[in-house]
Amino acid sequence: MRYASIDLLRTLAIGLMVLVHFLENLAGANWTPAGFGAPLFAFLAGLSFRLWVRSQEAKGVEEGSISRIAVRRGLFLFVLGFAFNVLVWLPEDTFNWDVLTMIGTVLVFLGVGRNLPTAVLATTAGLLVVLSPFLRAQADYLSYWPAYHFECDWTLPDVTIGYLATGYFPLFPWAAFPVVGYLAGRAVFPDDGPPAVRPLVVAGAAFAALTGLCRLGRWAGGAKVLTGWTMFPASPEYVCGALAFALLSFSALHMWIDRRNGLSRWPGVLGMAGTMSRHSLSLYLFHHVAHLWPLWVYGAVAADEPTAFWRQAMPLWVALALVPVCLVMGFVLCRGAERWKWPTVEGFMRWLCDDRRAEGRDDPVQ
């Protein structure tokens, strides 16, 4: 079963990521609210994984088969993350640890440990957030970020440190987002008993309060640990604020739309969101190709250096105008894929990873 609230939020996440990447990579501008896109995308991956597990159980798929499929899907995303780094970014960015490698790792973990007690998973998420500033301090985080860009030597210690603490989307703290999303799915879509949205509201309010406390703690002299609202590194203030946004926005939309048909008069909006949500992984890859490949080619031809126009290719207003163009193009391609059965990344993942008897359309990153 599909939930319109998830489709709408995933469409929002894709839109925010397109916005932030176009503004930053093409025009060198930063817009803080756009930083909610990646954490929301990761949170929804965990939430959708919960729905996918329930759909497999409803079909009578055995536990071992569910675990194997989940692990294969997680490994698929992990490998796809490396291919994405090499083919869409540049070969020297192979080990920059993109969001796909992080989500893939968590899906492998949840595939094996999805039945762990809620308290254990919640503690795991908490430790991922709490320990991250200390791990970054021990690793000398800033030494990996000259000129605000992650770089590391291709040695096992550097690559491992990047994966855990210093890369773009390291496990500490980013893995907390899909884990919390999975826990939110447990509450709203339980195996037995009534669904409970109140715990999500309470948790969201608590994270919002923690965001305020982080701000106060920084003013009180804790600037070495509490670095303010920063995405790179993902500070405690940022993580708590993004978790609050994800939990509260999903709770509100689930109550208004899924339970009360709040957008029943706007079926076109829900249809568009459903299309973009089903193909969100393909859209994530497409929007990078759409703006990075022309940037690299233009730099190589005009200046003999692919990155010559990085963050300075065009004025801000032009980059902003290209955002809706990219989204419309992506939507048209997704509709075409649905109508004419064009191959998609999601379809390839199902073909490669799923058992025939366990195939379903509610994918962890659909």
Q: Is the pLDDT of residue 363 over 60?
A: no
Q: Is 255 left (phi over 0), alpha (psi -120 to 50) or beta?
A: alpha
Q: Is the pLDDT of residue 358 over 70?
A: no
Question: Which residues in 103-129 are b (16+ Cβ under 10 Å) and which e?
Answer: bbbbbbbbbeebeeeeeebbebbeebb
Q: Is the pLDDT of residue 366 over 60?
A: no
Amino acid in the structure at residue 188: V
Per cent of the chain over pLDDT 70 is: 94
Confidence of residue 1 (pLDDT cuts 50, 70, 90): confident
Specify the pLDDT at position 267: 87
Handedness of CA 284, 130, 160, 115 (dihedral sign): negative
Top pLDDT among 266 and 340 is at: 340
pLDDT per residue over 226-241, tens digit each? 677 899 999 999 999 9
Name the nearest CA neighbour of 294 among 336, 326, 324, 265. Answer: 326
Confidence of residue 262 (pLDDT cuts 50, 70, 90): confident
pLDDT per residue over 33-59, tens digit each? 778 999 999 999 999 999 999 999 999
Specify the pLDDT at position 228: 79
Specify the pLDDT at position 308: 95
Cβ contact 352:76 at 8 Å: yes
Mean pLDDT of 252-256: 95
Cβ contact 345:80 at 8 Å: yes
Residue position matching structure tokens 């501008």? 29
Q: Is the pLDDT of residue 138 over 90?
A: yes
How many CB atoms sit inside 10 A of residue 315's CB? Answer: 12
Confidence of residue 360 (pLDDT cuts 50, 70, 90): very low
Residues 6 or more apart from 118 whose CB is under 8 A from it?
A: 183, 186
Confidence of residue 215 (pLDDT cuts 50, 70, 90): confident
Name the nearest CA neighbour of 196 among 179, 181, 184. Answer: 184
Q: Could you tell me the pTM of the whole model? A: 0.94
Q: What is the DSSP letter of 166?
A: I
The gap from C-alpha 242 to its chain's centroid, in whole angstroms, comes to: 12
Mean pLDDT of 6-10: 97
Specify the pLDDT at position 224: 60
Six token digits for residue 47: 């939430």
pLDDT per residue over 177-194, tens digit each? 999 999 999 999 998 888
Cβ contact 23:29 at 8 Å: yes
Lowest mean pLDDT among 107-116, 125-134, 142-151: 142-151
Confidence of residue 338 (pLDDT cuts 50, 70, 90): very high
H-helix segments, 146-193: 156-161, 171-174, 176-188
Specify the pLDDT at position 225: 62
